[in-house]
Structure 1
Amino acid sequence: MTDITASPSAWRDFLTQQGAQFDDQGQDVLGFGTATPQSLESFVAPLTDLGLIAATGEEAAAFLHGQLTNDVQHLTADAARLAGYCSPKGRLLATLLMWRDEAGIFLQLPRALQPAIQKRLQMFILRAKAKLADVSAERAVLGLVGPATANALAEWFPVLPAAPYDKLDNSHGTLIRLADAAGSPRYQWIAAVDTLSTAWPKLVQHLKPTATLAWRLSDIRAGVPGILAATQEQFVPQMINFELIGGVNFKKGCYPGQEIVARSQYLGKLKRRTLLATIASAGARAGDEVFAAADPGQPCGMVVNAEPLDQDHALALVEMKLAAADDTVHLGAAGGPALHFHDLPYELADPQ
C-alpha cells in the first residue's frame, strides 16, 4: 500500500482527486464544484492556508512562555489556546492557535507567515533546549462547522470536545473545538494525511465540502481575528479584542512588548476596538483603511480580516475608533462603500 504521507503534496493531490479547485498559489481551496460556501449550514473545508510549527525539547514550553502573550507553561493536553507574538513595541506580528500533545507544542498560523515567524522565534532560542520544526506537510487540517458535525465525526470521536478550546487526542489525531459562529459549533481535525484521506468519503456524506474561505468567514462571525501580512505590527492585542477571547494572560510575566500591552490594559479606557461589519464591496481586504464621514481627512480604522459574502458584499472585522462607530463609515475613502455594523458574539468589556 502506498504511504500517502510520503509526499508534501499528497494532501493537495488527494483533494484535487475529490474535485477541489485551488487558487493560483495552490494554497486556498476555492471550492468543490457548485457549492456556495457563504451560505452553507454544515460544511467541511480543507484548511490548506494554515502552517504548523512544532516546538520540542525539555525547555520548549519555557521558551515559548517567554515569547507569547499567553501561558504556555500551564497549557494542558486537553486544551488549546490562542496566543499572540508581538514586536518589542507590543504590536502583533502573528496570532496563533497553540496546543500540546506527547510529541510537543504546536503553533498554528497562516502558512504565508509561518516561515518568517519560525525564523524569528529561532533567533531567540539561544541556549534553550528547544527545537522548532515546520511540520505543515505532516499533518493536514479540516475545519468542520454546523449541527451535522456530531454525526459526521461519531466514528472517530464518539464524544466531542464540550466547550470552545477543549481538545481531544486519540489514534485518529487531534480534535479541537473553536469558538462557535452564529450559534454553530466549529471544530478542527488535525491528523496525518492518510487518516483524513480515509475519513473524507464518510465525512462528505454528512457535511458539504467547500472552500477554505468558508472557514475564514466562520472565524469572522465568531469575532476571532487573525493577523495577516498586510496587518503585521498594526495592532496591540486589545485593539483586535484579543484579550476578550482568551488570547492574553496578564499574569504570566514577560514577553516581547509585554509592558506596552499591560499599559494598554490598565491605563485608561480603550478607545479602539474591533467591530463586526458588512461592507458593500466584495473587494474589501485586510489592511484597507476605513473613514468616518465626520472626519474624512484621516482614517478612523483598518480592516483586520475580510472575506466576500457575495458579488457585492464582504463580511469583515474592522479595528477602529469606538467614537466613530455611531458615524457613517466607509471603505477606502469618505465616499467609498459603506459599512454596516453587527453585534459581536461577545461583549466589548472595559479593561478595568
Structure 2
Amino acid sequence: MRPVADEPQAAAAIAGTAPLAWSARALASGGQLWRAFGPGPAHGAIQRVYAAGPPASVLVYCLAPDKMLGWPYELSSAALAMLPPAQGGLPMVGRLSGRGSTLSQERLLALRPDLILDVGTVNDNYTSAAVQVAAQTGIRYILMAGDLNDSPEQLRAAGEMLDAQPRAELLASYARSILDEAAQARSRFARASSPSVYLARSSDGLETGLAGSIHGQAFSMAGARNVAHTPASSGVGRVSMEQLLAWDPDYVFTQNPAFVQHTRQSPLWMQLRAVKEKRLVLTPMLPFGWVDAPPGINRLLGLHWLIDIFNTGRPSAQTDDFIVDFFRVFYRIDAPAELLASARNAQHSP
C-alpha cells in the first residue's frame, strides 16, 4: 500500500472535521494505510489512548504502554502475569471493533481518551462505524490497515501520533528485517514445493482462517500455502471434515490446546498425514498469539518461527535467541524458559 497525500483530509471531510494537527511526516503516512475521523485533542498531545480492538492494543503496548487506558479483550491470566505490572494490571474495558462491540458510548466517554486507535480491516463497514463514533463522541478516531506487510509503516505512523518516534523507528527497522527474511523464504519456496498448511482455530478444528485473510497471513508470508481456499469468501469460516481430508495438508497448526486433545480421540483427524506424521503444531499464545489472535504486529514473532519450522522441520536453537531478543525489544520483558521449551517442542503426535 502506498500513501496518498490528501487521504487524511478527505477522510476528515467525511466526518465533517478539520485534518490532523500532527506533523507533515504523520500526514504523509496516511493514504491507504490509515484514515482519520473526528477532531484532534484540544491540548495537542496524545496522552490517553483507547485501543478499539486487540491488534491496536498490541501496537500501543509496544510503542507507548503508559498511554494505554485498558485492554479491549480478555487476556489470559498467564499473559497478564507475564507483562509489566502497570500493563498487566490494566482493566479489560471492552472493544469497539471486530465481532461485536462490547463498549458502550457512555463507558467510552468516561474513559476520556484523546485518541481511539483501531488496527485491522479497513472497509466500508469499519469506516462507517468510525465516522459514527467520531461524530457522536467528538473523539479523534484513527482506522489503520493491519496488513502484516505494512508493519514498519504502521509502527512509524503510530509512533508519530503517540510521540514515540525513536522507539517506533527501532521497532520498524526490526520488523523490516523479519519481513525481508520472509521474502527470502518465499523466494526459496517458489523454486520448490511450498508446504501446505491448515489453521484449526476452534476446539473441533473446523473453524479456520481462510486463504487470503488476515488470520492466515503469517503462513503465506512464511512461504506456505493455505489449503482453506474458498473463492467466494475470506476471513474466518467453517469447513467440513470431508473437505479437510481431501486437502490433506502437510501441516496442521492450532492455537487451541483442547483441539490437540480432540485429535487424539478422533479417528477422522488421525487420517490426516500431518497428524500421523507429527506435524500437528500448537502455536504459542503468550503474551499474544504468535500467528493470529490477534492479527497484529505480534505475528512478526510467529513469522520467524514459522520460517524456521518450514526450513528445518522444527524450530532450531537459533530461534530461541530470536525469541528472547524479540521479547526484550518489542515487549520489554524476558521470555520465560518454559515458553521457549514449548516453542521448540510444539509438534504433537496422536
TM range (shorter): under 0.3
Structure with higher helix content: 2
TM-score (normalised: structure 1): 0.27
Specify which structure has the bigger relative contact order, considering alpha-carbon pairs within 8 angstroms and separated by 6 or more residues. 1
Structure with higher strand content: 1
